[in-house]
Amino acid sequence: MTTTPLLRVRALHKTFGDHAVLRGIDLDVMPRDRIAILGASGSGKSTLLRCLNFMELPSAGTVELGGQAIGRAAPGKADPDRRTYDQAELTRVRQRVGMVFQQFNLFPHMTALGNVMEGLRTVRGQRESEARARAQVELARVGLADKADAYPARLSGGQKQRVAIARALAMDPEVLLFDEPTSALDPELVGEVLRVIRALAEEGRTMLLVTHEIGFAYHVANRVVFLADGVIHEQGTPDEVLKHPTQPRTRAFVERHREFDF
């Protein structure tokens, strides 16, 4: 059976000034894929994620969403692979590609429910009652039905991140991007967020997850991608990459993260 990849990334480059962060990434994300992206800090993993919903515009290369290449080829003299992006198109793309941030980025002037309703109201143009009902369903899914009227300042980090996940889910994204969703959390709050993400994985949602939680990646991902110096250094099943890495750098990374395992 052949299926079109949900996301198809080809020769993706991103440079900031003269610093090349991504240096040619090829990646296919199939429906129901759960891809963990690992790598040392500065390896480009967050930048890769941010290029997939165009929070950062790729410097070169293409991203296809559901078989449609995003942007228009606009070859320059120096870089023949350059593309230009239309803001209206990117706005539509972002409605299909949800993102959860490391720092949650909830809207502090809205309640938990207000945060989840916001996209439905402003982007989808739903009626108040319709958006409210949907937002309540999503808050219940992340176990926060009772916190609907709380402002973010009154929520713990773990609760904030679960609201942020509900906010992304309400838009029915085809792909979910998690950018180090537990890195800003106290250790005792990590579990509640990972459990929500695992439940979403078990529902068959397509997701890419940048994380330092190697154990979680091992149990939840179906593919692991190890980035180093802005390229995919090694990839495969969790067992291949995390238990039997072939590349020295992957091996060193995994060992470093398991140093204090017992």
Partner 1 sequence: MAAAYRWNFAPVFENADVLWAGAIGTLRLFAICVVLGFGFGLVVGLGRHAKSRWIYLPATAFVEFFRNTPVLVQILWFYYALPILLPFEISPLTAAALGISLNSAAFSAEIFRGGIESIDRSQAEAARALGMTAAQAMRRVVLPQALRRMVPALTNRGIEIFKMTTLASAVAYVELLQQGKLLASLNFNPIETYTVIAIVFFLCLLPMVQATYALERRLGRADA
Q: Which residues contact partner 1 by CB under 8 A? A: 53, 55, 87-88, 91-92, 94-95, 98-99, 101, 103, 105-109, 118-119, 122-123, 151, 153, 167-168, 171
Closest contact distance (angstroms) between CB of 20 and partner 1 is: 23
| Beta pairing, strands 19-29 & 7-16 | antiparallel
* Beta strands per DSSP E along 171-253: 175-179, 206-210, 223-228, 231-236
Which is closer to partner 1, CB of 118 or CB of 240?
118
Closest contact distance (angstroms) between CB of 197 and partner 1 is: 17
Which is closer to partner 1, CB of 1 or CB of 88?
88
Closest contact distance (angstroms) between CB of 107 and partner 1 is: 6
Report the distance separating Cα 134 and Cα 174, nearest Å: 17
Closest contact distance (angstroms) between CB of 98 and partner 1 is: 7
Closest contact distance (angstroms) between CB of 19 and partner 1 is: 20
> What is the token pair recorded at 159?
């609760």
Using alpha carbons, select from 136, 133, 180 the residue that is nearest to residue 161.
180
Which is closer to partner 1, CB of 171 or CB of 190?
171
Which is closer to partner 1, CB of 4 or CB of 122?
122
Question: How far is C-alpha 96 from the chain's CA centre?
Answer: 12
Contact 193, 161 (CB under 8 A): yes
Report the distance separating Cα 194 and Cα 189, nearest Å: 9
Closest contact distance (angstroms) between CB of 54 and partner 1 is: 9
Which is closer to partner 1, CB of 99 or CB of 194?
99
> What is the token pair recorded at 1?
């059976």
Q: Which residues contact 16 (CB under 8 A, 6 or more apart)?
A: none
Which is closer to partner 1, CB of 152 or CB of 238?
152
Contact 81, 60 (CB under 8 A): yes
